[in-house]
Amino acid sequence: MIAGSGLPAFFRLERFDELDSTNEELKRRAAAGAAAGTLVWARSQSAGRGRRGRPWTSPPGNLYMSILLRPECGAGAAAQLGFAAALAVGEAVAPLLPASAGLAYKWPNDVLVGGRKISGILLESQAAGEGRLDWVVVGIGVNLASFPETSDYPATSLVAAGATPVSLEALLKAVAGRFLVWYERWLAEGFAPLRRAWLARAYGVGERVRVRLADGESTGRFAGLDEEGALLLEDGPTRRRIAAGDVFPAVR
């Protein structure tokens, strides 16, 4: 840990004024042998990315961070760390928001306030052979001061949502600290406690939703998560397990 960072000893903080992408920087460091717990934080990004390669607008004033992990697991289990990151963001920002803010988690790894996206999470990994992983990078972006006016899903920021003012440094510490709590619990107890906590604030559970897939869209009732974190979509008597996609309100 860099002296004065205020982070738990698990983390080693690397600060930058600007990067192409905190995920890209950390992937380069992971390939060079960086230790688990390396945390890259940039005040802005010139080529930030979201899921499926979508651009992530990254002006100064928002939080852009990535955490390197080296868990002994396969890629499917590692995807559950997106839920740990969402819980960490939610627990970090909840005390700052008005009670009526409507904090929710949108599958698979977004955080909403008042139905609008305030945070996105991007997991990337490298295989080590025999179904195991060498490393996982957990990228987290939180809209603190600003948000994009045009995006695939309506967005907002902590400032726009009426949050108590907070510095980037304090938000970084809060998110990292809560992430470590959930990561250690995941290592010790598996996905079940994360699943319960996430579902308690899940967006759209029990309601009809539209799921954008790589090859089209499906609509049905969001029936919850299975034991591995996949979305369960019901359409009449049919229940479908969806491992990857994007959730939107159903077209009325």
Residues paired with 117 in a beta bridge: 112, 155
Residues 27-41: tens digit of each pLDDT: 999 999 999 999 999
> Among 89-93, 124-128, 136-140, 179-183, whose mean pLDDT is lowest?
124-128
Same domain, 223 and 139: no
Q: What is the largest CA-CA distance in the chain?
A: 58
Domain shared by 52 and 128, yes or no? yes
> Residue 131: what pLDDT?
74
Q: Which of 212, 246, 241 is nearest to 226 (CA)?
A: 241
Q: What is the pLDDT of residue 251?
A: 64
Higher pLDDT: 1 or 146? It is: 146
Residues 128 and 219 in one domain: no
Residue 3 lies in a domain: no
Shared domain for 186 and 215, answered yes or no, is no
Are residues 194 and 214 both part of a single domain? no
| Domains contained in the chain, number | 2
Domain that holds residue 242: 208-249
Task: With a cut of 70, say whether residue 23 has pLDDT above it.
Answer: yes
Residue 9: pLDDT band (50, 70, 90) is very high
Residue type, 204: G
- Give the mean pLDDT of 13-37: 95
Question: What is the SS3 assignment for 133?
Answer: strand
The answer to whether residue 244 scores a pLDDT higher than 90 is no
Mean pLDDT computed over 7-19: 95
For β-strands 110-113 and 246-249, DSSP reports them as: unpaired
Residue 5 falls within a domain, yes or no? no
Q: Are residues 193 and 243 in the same domain?
A: no
For residues 118 and 172, membership in a common domain is answered with: yes
Please tell me the pTM assigned to this model: 0.92
Contact 148, 119 (CB under 8 A): no
Q: For residue 36, is it within any domain?
A: yes
Residue 238's H or E segment, with its range, is strand 238-242
Residue 62 lies in a domain: yes
Residue 241 lies in a domain: yes
108 and 160 share one domain: yes
Q: Same domain for 139 and 230?
A: no
Has residue 46 got a pLDDT over 80? yes
CA atoms within 13 A on the CB side of 76: 8
- CATH at 215: 2.30.30.100
**What is residue 212's predicted lDDT score, i.e. its pLDDT?**
87
Specify if 194 maps to a domain.
Answer: yes
Question: Is residue 99 domain-resident?
Answer: yes
Predicted confidence (pLDDT) at residue 53 exceeds the cutoff of 50 = yes
Are residues 172 and 103 part of one domain? yes
- The pLDDT tens digits for 61-99 are 999 999 999 999 888 899 999 999 999 999 999 999 998
Kindly report the CATH number assigned to the domain that includes residue 28.
Answer: 3.30.930.10
Tell whether 234 and 138 lie within a shared domain: no
Q: Are residues 226 and 152 in the same domain?
A: no
Q: How far is CA 132 from CA 74, 78, 240, in A?
A: 5, 10, 27
